[in-house]
Structure 1
Amino acid sequence: MFSLRSAEKVVALEGFPQSSVGAPCPAIVATEHSLAVLFYVDEPDPNWDGTYVRMVGVESSVEPAAVVSFERPSIHTFGPPNDEAFAGHRLASKGLRPYGAFEILNSQWIRQLEKMNSVHPRHGPKRYMEGKRHFILTFHDTTFECVARGYSIELARASIKELLAKHVEAVNA
């Protein structure tokens, strides 16, 4: 019998900024029609000799950051697994790994959404699924997944707190 799970394929997203592996401090801003993920980007210090630790938090304003805005989002999750329990993710055996950005082709999640929507009197499977894409961003302590039509990336040098305020203000404008 055909298994939807076996048909899924994990593909790394090219050109996506690498999240900080230490403290990416990911955050989301979401409304019914908009969705953005904000996180610190990895920027290795070429002078680091291993003798000190730099503390980073949501108020650290000298860190490079990324804002990923998703186009026409349908659904999202933000939570487990973290990097230490990542083997428990259902797609880990297919190449999904911590600290990355991925698209899931032939997504079981999208198929489940289509099936849920099939009770609508004017539902059309092809029309419903057209353009929907399943994305996964994996961080140190959390995993973000969403279904959307696409995404755009903006890079900034600002604190996550500042970026959150800017995006919440834009949503309320």
Structure 2
Amino acid sequence: MESIEELKLGVRPEAAVSGAVLLQSEYSSYLTFNAQKDTDKPSPYGGFYTADAGTAIVEFQGCLISKFGYPNDEAAMGIPKYKDFGYDICVVKNSEWVKELENLNNYSFPNTSYADFRHFIIFFHDSTFECIAKDLVLKLSDQPYSEIIGELSAKVSAE
């Protein structure tokens, strides 16, 4: 049975303006967003206050497929499998999507296995990103956003 677990990576998408941008080619996939980190100051609403963490740059290694867009945060709250998550970075265990890809590929390649791939999901304010990839690497940057996007665009276009 599918289950979703939050990945504890030290940051999460900013709640108000996530600013997510996806740069993807046949060979690489990068997702950037405004990141927040927890502080040690308790919030009266539960949990802790957050602080700016810069821009997160997430590389999805070996990305097979991705979806970016629907649902936004309000719609996600009404979807049973998403309702317990906020602006989080997660992994889907026993993913039906991974199984679907294996089944489809088995028509031409009967021994296909994607056992070493994972289904990642990131919830933003205005969108959701999902992909099937081998792994993710998250880095933080304080560079201006235009420089980050310029560097990633150069990497993607050089492939």
Q: Normalized against structure 1, the TM-score is what?
A: 0.77
Partner SS, residue 147 of structure 1: strand
In structure 1, runs of 5+ residues without a counterpart are 1-6, 46-61
Given that 2:10 and 2:37 are in contact with CA atoms closer than 8 Å, whether structure 1 keeps it comes out as no
Percent of counterpart pairs with the same letter? 27
CA RMSD of aligned residues (A): 2.1
Counterpart of 1:73? 63
Q: Structure 1 pair 25/159, CA: closer, same or farther in 2 (3 Å)? A: farther
Q: Which deviates more from structure 2 when the two are superposed, residues 35-44 or residues 64-73?
A: 35-44
2:97 aligned with 1:105, yes or no?
A: no
Given that 2:53 and 2:140 are in contact with CA atoms closer than 8 Å, whether structure 1 keeps it comes out as no
2:116 aligned with 1:131, yes or no?
A: yes
Count of residues in Structure 1 that have an aligned counterpart in Structure 2? 146
2:138 maps to amino acid: I
Counterpart of 1:142? 127
Q: Which structure carries more helix by proportion?
A: 1
Instruction: Find 2:73's aligned residue among 42, 62, 83.
Output: 83
In structure 2, runs of 5+ residues without a counterpart are 40-51
Counterpart of 1:165? 150
Specify the structure having the higher radius of gyration (Cα): 1
Partner SS, residue 129 of structure 1: coil
Larger relative CO (CA 8 A, sep 6+): 1 or 2? Answer: 1
Instruction: Find 2:102's aligned residue among 89, 94, 114.
Output: 114
